[in-house]
């Protein structure tokens, strides 16, 4: 099984971190992975995206022309990548900021109010984390315990205090995904 994903949004939305976490949790679970970032010159507010592949098999190239999963955190990302999603694929999108989706009946759209979820948890910087919960539910690639272990490795001791809030945002993402 191979999952080809593109994560896209503005710089500062944590889109590259979300992609890294999915790639690293794949590695922890013995999968082959690639993570390839792309971002503009602006640190915050510029365009940022990354390609992530998680596979049971050898990965031939990290380049993804037609992802089977798109994570779109803002309207420009939806406009750019939405039409490129493979038929039968999924688009998880931040319904807090995206109001227009492509007219397609061959993909499944999954709205997730990421900004509202993060604001309700008093963690506005955690708007990227509900996406992790939705991906967890959709793909069944990892568990909450897996992502917690990955965060401990990724964040280190200096940022370990952020893990609990991020896990709450991920859990909220799973609740919204389930309906």
| Band of pLDDT at residue 18, cut at 50, 70 and 90 | very high
Share of residues in the chain with pLDDT > 70 (%):
96
Full-model pTM: 0.93
Cα(27)–Cα(9) distance, integer angstroms: 24
pLDDT digits (tens, 9 = 90+) for 117-161: 999 999 999 999 999 999 999 999 999 999 999 999 888 888 888
Number of domains the chain contains: 1
pLDDT given at position 65: 94
Lowest mean pLDDT among 33-42, 76-85, 105-114, 165-174: 33-42
Are 69 and 89 within 8 A, CB to CB?
yes
Count of C-beta atoms within a 10 Å radius of residue 141:
17
pLDDT given at position 101: 96
Report the CATH number that the domain containing residue 140 is assigned in CATH: 3.40.920.10
| Three-state secondary-structure class, residue 50 | strand
Q: Judge whether residue 41 has pLDDT over 80.
A: no
pLDDT digits (tens, 9 = 90+) for 69-94: 999 999 999 999 999 999 999 999 99
Structural domain containing residue 146: 2-178
């Amino acid at each position: 099984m191979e999952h080809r994903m593109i994560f896209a949004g503005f710089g500062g939305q944590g889109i590259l971190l979300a992609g890294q976490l999915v790639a690293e949790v794949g590695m922890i679970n013995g999968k082959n992975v690639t993570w390839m970032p792309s971002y503009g010159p602006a640190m915050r507010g510029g365009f940022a995206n990354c390609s992530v592949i998680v596979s049971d098999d050898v990965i031939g190239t990290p380049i993804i022309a037609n992802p089977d999963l798109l994570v779109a955190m803002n309207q420009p990302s939806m406009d750019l990548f939405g039409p490129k999603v493979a038929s039968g694929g999924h688009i998880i999108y931040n319904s807090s900021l995206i109001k227009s989706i492509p007219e397609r009946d061959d993909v499944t759209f999954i709205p997730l109010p990421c900004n509202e979820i993060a604001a309700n948890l008093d963690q506005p910087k955690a708007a990227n984390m509900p996406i992790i919960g939705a991906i967890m539910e959709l793909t069944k690639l990892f568990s909450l315990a897996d992502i917690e272990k990955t965060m401990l490795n990724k964040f280190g001791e200096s940022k370990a205090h952020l893990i609990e809030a991020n896990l709450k945002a991920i859990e909220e993402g799973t609740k919204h995904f389930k309906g």
